[in-house]
Amino acid sequence: MNSLKIVAKSGQGEKNPVSLFEHTRDVLTIFDKFKHCIPAKLHDLIRLAIISHDWGKVIPVFQIKTMKNKNYQPSSPLIAIPHSLVSIIFINEQKLHNILSDMVKKQGDSQDDASIEDYFNFILSAIAFHHWRENFFELISSSGNELTELCEELERQKKTDNLENNLREEIKKLGHGWHELIEFNFEMSKGLKNGVPYYEYVRPPYQLYFLPKRVEISEKKLKDWILISGFLQRADHFASFCEEKGEDVNMSEPDIQPIAFSAAKERVIKKIKGKLAKNEPTKIWQLEKIDDYKNKNLILIAPTGYGKTEFAFLWGSGEKFIYTLPLRAAVNDIYKRASDLIGEDKTGILHSDADIYLLGDGGENQTNMKAYDLARQLAYPSIISTGDQFFPYALRPPNYEKIYASLSYSRLIIDEVQAYDPRASAIIVKFIEDVAKMGGKFLLMTATLPEFVCRALKETLKDSEFEIINLYEEKKKDLEKIKKHKIRVDLIENDINEKANGFSLPADTLDQIIQAAIDGKRVMVIANTVKQAVYIFEHLKKRAEDVKLYSKLKDKIFLLHSQFTLQDKDQKISELMKRFGTFRNDDENAGRILIATQVVEASLDIDADVLFTEIAPMDNLVQRMGRVLRRYGPIISPENVSEPVEPNIFIWVFQKEVESGRGYVYDRDLLLITLKLLRDKSLSKNNYSGEIKEWLLQMKKRSKKNEDQISETLLKIFEEIQGAGSQGKKRLKIQKINEYKSFEILCSEYDKYCLVKSLYGELPDNSKYLKNFEKTREILDAGYMSDRKEEAHRLFREICTITVIPTAKKDELKENIIKFLSDSSDNSLTYTVFKKEILSKFIIQIPWKSGKSLLEPVDKWLSLQEINESDRKKVKRWCQGIYFAECEYNSEKGILRSGSGENDFIY
C-alpha cells in the first residue's frame, strides 16, 4: 500500500481500500443525486462540508491502527481521537470565511437568511459531529484530554507539515483548489492546550448542557443547520454503504424514483373494485377526495375497514413517503399490500426484525438483504415502518438531522395513533410539528382519534395549516343505519386473591365461547394481558374436554400474544391470516377460536363472527370490534346490512380491579368512563356536556380507598334502569350487585365514533392520562434533547421492555450455537443469519419492572462456554443486551411465569 495514500474506508474487504479522495468523490456523487430536494442556496455549503468532513483521517492512529495502513508516514503520534473532531483542526478558518462570503454574495442578500458567521458555525458543527459518539461530551467539554495531548505531540514532533502535505496531495485530486483550504490551526491548538474546551470553537448540536448556545438561533436558521448536517450524513452513509458492498456509486440511487401518481391511481381503482361485491356502489371515495387533498397536511378519520390504507397510498404516491404503524405484525401486513400495489422494487420495510422477515425461509438471499440495507438507507420511495424507527427522533438524539433532512421533502403517514400511550402520543405530535416546519407533509389517519391529540396539533401548527376529513360526519346518515354489532356488557365476580388467577371466567362463559365455535362461527377472544390470554387458552381447552366437545375443536383453538419467540410468532400470524382472513368461502362452516391480546387490534386484516373481550378504553374497543364482520366493512350499502338479533360483542368487566391489567395496561379513569358511556348509551342517554366528568370526580371524592371506589362505581353503573337518565337521580333500591350482571346495546358505526369522541371529552383535565401527555409536550417544547439514541427510544416506549431467553433453554441455546458455528463458513457468519437461525428461536420481548442486575447477561454466560475464541467474541457481541430470565417456554403457549422472577413481570 502506498505510504502516502490516505485510506478512508476499508471498502469491500481489506484488499480494496478506498482512499480519502475516492470516498470524498463518492460522497459528492451521491449528494448530486438528491440535491434537487434541497434548497439551492445550501448546495455549495453542503459540498464544502462534504469535502472537509473526513480530513481528520489523516492522523497516524487512524491510518495505522484503524485502517491497517502499516506503511503510513508519519507513524506517530498514535493518540486515538475521533477523526471528525480532528478534521476541524486542519481547516484554515480565514479562507473558509472568504469562501463563505463569496457564496453568500453569489446568492444575494435576504433578511431571513443566515449570516456568514452562522454558516461558518453550521459547517464546522456538521463536520465535527457527523459521527457523534457517547464519549464526545467529555472530549469537547473538558480540558487536558486526548485532544490536548494530540495537539501537543503533533507540534512537539513537528508532524503538522507532514500531515498537511499528505492531505493536500489527496484533496488536490478533487480539483477546484479545495486543497488550499488545508492548514493546521495553531491558534485553536494553542487554545486547547491552554484549557479552552473544544465546544468554544465548534458549536455542538446536541445535549441539554449546550442549550444556551442554541436558543438564540431562529427557526429558519436552525432548519438550514439541520439540512447541512443531515444531507452530509445521508450522502456519507450511502456512499459508505456502496463502498462496503462493492457497488458503483454512479449506478446506485440514494433516492429511488417513486411510482407516478397516475399509475398508483389505476392500481388503487383496480384494488378497491376487486374488494367490492357486485351489488355494491361503484363510487370510490378515495378518488373523490384525493385531488382536493393530495398536497395538504391532513387528518383522516374513518371507520375500520373503510379503505384508509388505499387513500394513504394515493396521497403518498409520486413522492417519497414513510408509512408508520405501531406494531411489527401490522407493518408486515401493510408492507405486503404496498409491495403488491406499488411494487417490491419501490417498497422498503423497517422494524427491529425486518431483516429476518425479508429473509423468510430461504437462507441469506442477497437480493432481500440488499432490499433491507436500502430501506435502512432510506433509499426507497415507499417505506413501511414501525413508529419507533422514527418518532423518537422528536427527542433529537445524535444524528437526528439525517431523518429530519429526509423528511423535509417527504410525506409522513401515521396510522393507528390511538394505539400509543399518552407520552408517545405527545412525542408523535412534536414529530409531526417538526416535519411540517421542515417542509414535509403529514397524513394522520385513524378510526378513533383522541380529541386531545387533535387539539394539540391545532395549538402547535399555528403556521402550518392542515385539514380534517371526517368520513363519520360526511357519511353520518349511512353510518347511523349500519348496525353490525350488538354489544352485551357482563359483570363478572372474581376473587383477586385466588392463587391461580384473580380473573377467572365462569364455566358458563367458557361454554358460551365453545358453543359459538361449535355452531360454525369464528370466535375471537381478546384479553388485556398475556397471562390472562394464556389462562383463557388453557381453560377453554380443558372445558372443551370436560363437556366432550374437544374432538370437534381439536387444532381449531389458537393463541397469539407478544411473548412468543420471533419465529413462533411469525408462524402463528401466517397461520391466522389463513384461518381468520377477510376472504372466505361462502360455504365455510368450520368454527374456530382465536385467543389474543392487543396485537390483533391494529391493521391486521382478520375477521371474526363474534368477539369476547375484556373492558378496554372505548377507542380500543372500537378497534377490537372492527375485527368482527370486517369482511363486510362499513362501505357497503345500509340496506345490505341486517341488524344482529343476538349479541356478537361480549365485554367482560371484573367486579374487582375491573380488568386483568390492574391499571398497568390501561388508565383506570378511561375504563370507568368507557363503561359509563356504554351504560348511558343502553339507557338512551347521549347528551353529556361534562356530566360524566363531574360524575367521575364525585365518585373519587366519596371513595377513600381504591377498592371502595371501584366497587361503588361499578354498582352505580350496573344498577341504573331505563329512564333513569331523564330524571338523573332515579335509582333502584339497594340490592346486591350480582342481580344486575349485564346490559345490551345495538351500536351503529356512527355511535362508535360518538362514544370515542365523548371518552376523551369527559376525561378530567387533572387525570393522570392527560397529565402525562401535557407534561411530555411541555418538556419537548422547552427544547429537550436526548443524549443518546437508545435513551430516546426508551422514553418513547414508556414501559421498560427487555430481551430475554428462558433459563430452561440454556442447554438448547448452547447446542444450537455450536452447531451454527460448525456449519457456517466465514462468509455466512453474519449477525443477520445468526439472528434468523438462532436468536429468532430463543429471544422474547417482555415488560420488566425490576433492575437488570437481577438477570444473568447472555454474553457473560457465553464467556464460560467452550467455544472457539474468535467465534465466541463475535457471538458475545451479537448477544449484548440479552438476558436469561427465570421462566418456562413452549411454542403453544409462549412464555410461562415460574420461579423467583415471576413477580418481576409487569403483565
What is the rounded CA–CA span in Å between residue 577 and residue 587?
A: 18
97 and 124 in contact (C-beta within 8 Å)?
Answer: no
667 and 674 in contact (C-beta within 8 Å)?
Answer: no
Specify the pLDDT at position 796.
Answer: 65
Instruction: Assign 3-class secondary structure to 130-167.
Output: CCCCCCHHHHHHCCCCHHHHHHHHHHHCCCHHHHHHHH
Consecutive H or E run containing 442:
strand 441-446
* 652 strand-pairing partners: 490, 614
Specify the pLDDT at position 229.
Answer: 96
What is the rounded CA–CA span in Å between residue 312 and residue 310?
A: 5
* Residue 291 cell numbers, joined: 385531488
> What is the tens place of the pLDDT at every residue in 662-693?
888 898 889 999 999 999 888 887 665 668 88
What pLDDT band is residue 633 in, cutting at 50, 70 and 90? low
Which of 807, 785, 763 lies closest to 895 in space, CA to CA? 807
Give the lowest-confidence range in 447-456, 483-492, 577-586. Answer: 577-586
Specify the pLDDT at position 725.
Answer: 41
Q: Count CB atoms within 10 A of the CB of residue 716.
A: 14
DSSP 348: E
> What is the tens place of the pLDDT at every residue in 524-542?
999 999 999 999 999 999 8
What pLDDT band is residue 406 in, cutting at 50, 70 and 90? very high
634 and 578 in contact (C-beta within 8 Å)?
Answer: no
Instruction: Assign 3-class secondary structure to 718-754.
Output: HHCCCCHHHHCCCCCCCCCHHHCCEEEEEECHHHHHH
* Residue 757 cell numbers, joined: 369522541
Annotate 301-345 with DSSP letters as a single string. Answer: E--TTSSHHHHHHHHHTTS-EEEEES-HHHHHHHHHHHHHHH-GG
Mean pLDDT of 543-547: 83
Give the lowest-confidence range in 11-15, 84-88, 209-213, 317-321. Answer: 209-213
96 and 120 in contact (C-beta within 8 Å)?
Answer: yes
> What is the tens place of the pLDDT at every residue in 588-602?
667 899 999 988 886
What is the rounded CA–CA span in Å between residue 672 and residue 762?
A: 11
What is the rounded CA–CA span in Å between residue 443 and residue 387?
A: 14
**What is the dihedral angle through the alpha carbons of 86, 87, 93, 95, rounded to the nearest 10 degrees?**
150
Q: Please list, in sequence order, all residues whose beta carbon lies within 8 angstroms of the beta carbon of residue 841, skipping any fewer than 6 positions away.
A: 565, 567, 816
- Sign of the Cα pseudo-torsion (250, 256, 261, 264, in order): positive
Cell 349500519 maps to which residue?
A: 482
Mean pLDDT of 127-142: 88
Mean pLDDT of 180-190: 95
* Residue 64, pLDDT above cutoff 70: yes
What is the rounded CA–CA span in Å between residue 47 and residue 174?
A: 12
Q: What is the pTM of this model?
A: 0.88
* Residue 895, pLDDT above cutoff 70: yes
29 and 250 in contact (C-beta within 8 Å)?
Answer: yes
* Residue 211, pLDDT above cutoff 80: no
What pLDDT band is residue 614 in, cutting at 50, 70 and 90? very high
Give the lowest-confidence range in 259-263, 492-496, 634-638. Answer: 634-638
* Residue 203, pLDDT above cutoff 60: yes
* Residue 640, pLDDT above cutoff 80: no
> What is the tens place of the pLDDT at every residue in 704-718?
555 566 777 787 788
Give the lowest-confidence range in 170-174, 281-285, 896-900. Answer: 896-900
Rounded to 5 degrees, what are φ and ψ at 144?
Answer: 70, 25
- Sign of the Cα pseudo-torsion (266, 271, 272, 276, in order): positive
SS3 at position 458: helix
Specify the pLDDT at position 636.
Answer: 56
Range picked from 604-608, 674-678, 756-760 for highest mean pLDDT:
674-678
Percent of the chain exceeding pLDDT 70 equals 84
Q: Please list, in sequence order, all residues whose beta carbon lies within 8 angstroms of the beta carbon of residue 174, skipping any fewer than 6 positions away.
A: 21, 24, 25, 28, 51
User: Angle at which helices 219-245 and 400-407 pack, to 10 degrees?
Assistant: 100
DSSP 658: B
What pLDDT band is residue 746 in, cutting at 50, 70 and 90? very high
Q: Count CB atoms within 10 A of the CB of residue 738.
A: 11
Give the lowest-confidence range in 98-112, 550-564, 671-685, 706-720. Answer: 706-720
Q: How far is CA 660 from the centre of its chain?
A: 26
- Amino acid at site 816: N
* Residue 724, pLDDT above cutoff 70: no
Give the lowest-confidence range in 56-60, 393-397, 645-649, 902-906. Answer: 902-906
* 654 strand-pairing partners: 492, 658
Mean pLDDT of 502-508: 90
Specify the pLDDT at position 258.
Answer: 94
What is the rounded CA–CA span in Å between residue 391 and residue 393?
A: 5
Consecutive H or E run containing 845:
strand 844-847
* Residue 851, pLDDT above cutoff 70: no
What pLDDT band is residue 696 in, cutting at 50, 70 and 90? confident
Buried b (16+ CB within 10 A) or exposed e, 641-657: beebeebbbbbbbbbbb
What pLDDT band is residue 363 in, cutting at 50, 70 and 90? very low
Specify the pLDDT at position 793.
Answer: 64
What pLDDT band is residue 7 in, cutting at 50, 70 and 90? very high
Give rounded-to-5 percent helix, strand, coil for the chain.
55, 10, 35
748 and 483 in contact (C-beta within 8 Å)?
Answer: yes
What is the rounded CA–CA span in Å between residue 478 and residue 633?
A: 13
Specify the pLDDT at position 872.
Answer: 84
Specify the pLDDT at position 904.
Answer: 42
Q: What is the mean pLDDT of the chain?
A: 84
Residue with the bigger pLDDT between 11 and 4: it is 11
